[in-house]
Structure 1
């Protein structure tokens, strides 16, 4: 009895290990679905040993073969899994592309998947084109030739270009190129009214530039969703220029005024200098008169005559000053 109790657990553990390493159910499922011998028992055991999910590979092979894509082997799916690829996405993409008559081989599909792109989504976008808002947030601002700012938003309909999906530019490049084309088209317009009347001209101008070159998409259409009129940039620039010119003129005028003030101060200094020289010369007169008295060149009568002349000159100057004051006092009454 004790031997039976020991044997049964060992037998159960061994059975579990055998069923784990030998997925009998998957082998039967693959044989019934795609025929016996396509996926052998030994191959399933090897997958388990290599830590490859046998169900993932088996389901992929069954789906591909049932869809008529029997050129894909289990070894290729195993290799793609070990390379870090998404086997389920590749299988779904191959089946979807075949049903949609899109040319997509296994090598291209795995290359797209290993490049980090969603190959299944790429095939879906080829069947159902997607719309990209340009820009994603806000609007593109541009200025027409008449100086009026316009703000536009476009919607770009694209379809995946399978051949250029590996290494091709993505949505950001499409948005940048379309935005650049919108700015160029608006900037080439004579007036903003032309753009508002015919927004289709922008679409045609942008679409004709071949903006999808080198990208992972083929642009189907570019539609202007909205156009708003902004501020008068030309008038603002002219106002700013006029203000700048005004400041320059004021600076030049201030410079000339400063030079005039400096010249005036210089002239005042020269006047003071001349007055100092006159006073200095007048101070020499008494000395000269005293010297003339000593030398006998000036007599007493000559001195008195000179005093009389000075007194007469002073009196006349006083009378002249009084007349000027009277004239100034009478002028307001006369007016």
Structure 2
């Protein structure tokens, strides 16, 4: 029994050792690489295991690139993997670019991949351009009419500008700015409606794709709608503002006139008070003249008769209400 157990343990240990040896020494991968024309030695595959690089990933990438006619080394692929890159994505992008005659080398592809962009999608976008729809852009022509335009921008990826180049938001912002400038410089909104391609020509001539990760192929005006009459609204608002200013000035003048009238009334009342005060001094002056002998009683009566005669003449000269009716 002990002998049979020992044989079983030996067999199990041998199987485990064989699997471990095959794991450490990926002979099958090495054999596959040799059959595919990829020159790589078994020691490099063992060192990849020690550096925690999947040998299958490197070998498969080398086989794919070699069959596609690309000249890559295991060291380049391993370095890109250790840097955190997407090896399979880079290999696919290099093959697609080579088939489409797009200049793209391994160094640039890895730089684009490590920059956080999808290099394979960028190559596909360079082969198959994409259409970007701009949001409605509102602008006002010189005649005051507002126009609302929508554009379709056809772009393709600029491989050499993918690292550090601006994205779609910059393209949309620049195209919108170009549309506003073109419409704003038009003398009449009818001019823009009659020739919408004028916007495309002017915007394209500005080189809006400079410094971006895209190359603008065309800008097509999809739709133009007439908005509000901004000029009329501004004139209306200005007229209302002028009216308010005029009303304020008129109210100021009216308030000044009222204040001046009140001031004149106050002065008139003050003058009447002074007259009354002066008239109140007459009896005192007459009494004083009596006491001093400067005025006699007959003189006083004569003065009273003259005053009564004057009052009578004034009452006769004034027409009564009955006389007015008869006239």
TM exceeding 0.5: yes
Q: TM-score, normalised by structure 2?
A: 0.93
CA distance in 2, matches of 1:310, 1:13: 154
Q: In the TM superposition, what whole-angstrom CA distance separates every residue of 1:294-319 from its partner, at most 9, and x where no partner exists?
A: 11111112222333344444455556
In terms of mean alpha carbon deviation, does 21-30 or 263-272 score higher? 21-30
Tell me the residue number matched to 1:270: 267
Indicate whether 1:2 and 2:16 are aligned: no
- CA positional deviation for 1:8: 3.6
Q: CA deviation at 1:49?
A: 1.8
Tell me, what secondary structure is at the counterpart of 2:186?
coil
Aligned to 1:119: 119
Larger displacement relative to structure 2 (257-266 or 221-230): 257-266
Distance 2:14 2:61 in 1: 34
Counterpart in 2 of 1:85? 85
Secondary structure (helix, strand or coil) at the match of 1:34 reads coil
Q: Tell me whether 1:149 sits opposite 2:146 in the alignment.
A: yes
- 1:215 aligns to what SS in structure 2? coil
Q: Provide the residue aligned with 2:21 in structure 1.
A: 18
Distance in 2, Cα, partners of 1:168 & 1:99: 25
Partner of 1:227: 224
Q: Any unmatched runs of 5+ in structure 1? A: none
Closer/same/farther in 2, CA of residues 9 and 290 from structure 1, 3 Å limit: farther
Aligned to 2:45: 44
Task: Tell me which of 192, 200, 207 is aligned to 1:210.
Answer: 207
Q: Which residue of 287, 290, 297 maps to 2:294?
A: 297
Q: Given the two structures, how large is their TM-score scaled by the length of structure 1?
A: 0.91
- Number of residue pairs the alignment of both structures matches: 324
Q: What is the alpha-carbon distance in structure 1 between the residues aligned to residue 214 and residue 171 of structure 2?
A: 8
2:57 corresponding residue in structure 1:
56
Counting only pairs closer than 5 Å after superposition, residues 167-186 of structure 1 correspond to structure 2 as 167-186=164-183
Alignment RMSD (CA, Å):
2.0
The corresponding residue for 1:28 is 31
Distance in 2 between residues matched to 1:54 and 1:317, nearest whole Å: 137
Q: Structure 1 residues 310 and 4 mapped into 2: Cα distance closer, same or farther (>3 Å)? A: farther
